Structure 1
């Protein structure tokens, strides 16, 4: 199965279209005010309305309440929810039937052989701040952790067009997630790097 590609930190319709035209499978919209790639839910909704079908639209949140999510749902049609905070397994389970992607950072404190209540796990690198870090993960550590994992995982953390093929070869993820690795500046994508990142992933 081809590796799925998510371009995260979308803040404009222009960048959304660049990612889609390049062949990205999913777009990530960071609805967390502490991120340099923050976009308000109302602005994200306007972008979503202009997008073609069959593209995953993912809301990225940090420690939301159910009421936070319900408010966003009333504004925008997201297809999945990526949770980047301290959300528990119980909280994620309570969100069904919503599609949840739970972000985890090492040291991973879950048993990989026990399925976490999420559609997929996103493995990111350590950082003192919430949201994406831009730092590269220890890929051999990822491989060791995911050998017994019972659900799909998405690799994130410091990926670039230059290293993504090596990352995929070492970890064999369901998908890859990139933000800073394809940017001119936080929240502004570099079209050439977006295209090159997606091209390399899809050439596998």
Structure 2
């Protein structure tokens, strides 16, 4: 998962094409009904076909049942399943076994003790570190446009591979990469003009800034 850029929450053919044209390594399709980025199974199917062979396709779910997973996998045929709820390490392993797809587990970070949750999830194929959602009614599990204190990752074992998310945008992604040295970055609301409305210019700017920062980090 070296130096990958993921654009999550894509929900229209036009904005997906913008992400693909800009060179996104991963594109995410959200299956969380209360999210403004939620896609139906039929739309997810069409978008997945559009992206097939051009990038890695990720489906994002929140504490999904086996039935919900089966429907999403059949319709979207993702290259990777992203779990953004309170799934246990055992549940992650079970999903990997049943659906034969790599799994990325998102973990919320707000304080140093939250990093202790990483070790039990060593069985996941990828770890995504996101800001814990605000403690407000209706807050989404991700895509809230807030970041956590990146300095918290100073004590993280550098052998731990992770994707950084939470509050990233074209203006701060370079600094985030410099400070935290992630293997990959993920953005959703940071490339939007409004909730769920992806901005092609911001997508391109984000990917360009991340690529430049990753290149600088290698030297």
Q: TM-score, normalised by structure 2?
A: 0.86
User: Aligned-pair distance for 1:5?
Assistant: 0.4
What are the equivalent positions in structure 2 for 1:17-56 lying under 5 Å apart? Answer: 17-56=17-56
Q: Structure 1: which 5+ residue stretches go unaligned?
A: none
* Cα deviation digits, residues 83-140 of structure 1 (max 9, x gap): 1111000000112232111010125264545652211111111213323321011101
Q: 1:140 aligns with which of 134, 145, 151?
A: 151
Q: Which residue of 2 aligns with 1:60?
A: 60
* CA RMSD, Structure 1 to Structure 2 (Å): 1.8
Q: Structure 2: which 5+ residue stretches go unaligned?
A: none
Q: 1:168 aligns with which of 177, 182, 186?
A: 177
Q: TM-score, normalised by structure 1?
A: 0.92
Structure 1 contact 124–133 (Cα < 8 Å) conserved:
no
The size of the alignment, in residue pairs, is 202
Q: Which residue of 1 aligns with 2:210?
A: 201
Q: 1:124 to 1:53 in 2, by over 3 A?
A: same
2: CA distance, partners of 1:115 / 1:126: 17
Q: Which has the higher contact order (CA 8 A, sep 6+)?
A: 1
Q: 1:122 to 1:2 in 2, by over 3 A?
A: closer
2: CA distance, partners of 1:143 / 1:18: 34
Secondary structure at 1:105 match in 2: strand
Q: Which stretches of structure 1, 4 residues or longer, exceed 3 Å deviation after superposition?
A: 109-115
1: CA distance, partners of 2:181 / 2:67: 36
2: CA distance, partners of 1:86 / 1:149: 25
Q: 1:149 to 1:63 in 2, by over 3 A?
A: farther
What are the equivalent positions in structure 2 for 1:71-90 lying under 5 Å apart? Answer: 71-90=71-90
1: CA distance, partners of 2:116 / 2:172: 27
2: CA distance, partners of 1:44 / 1:111: 31
Greater share of residues in helix: 2
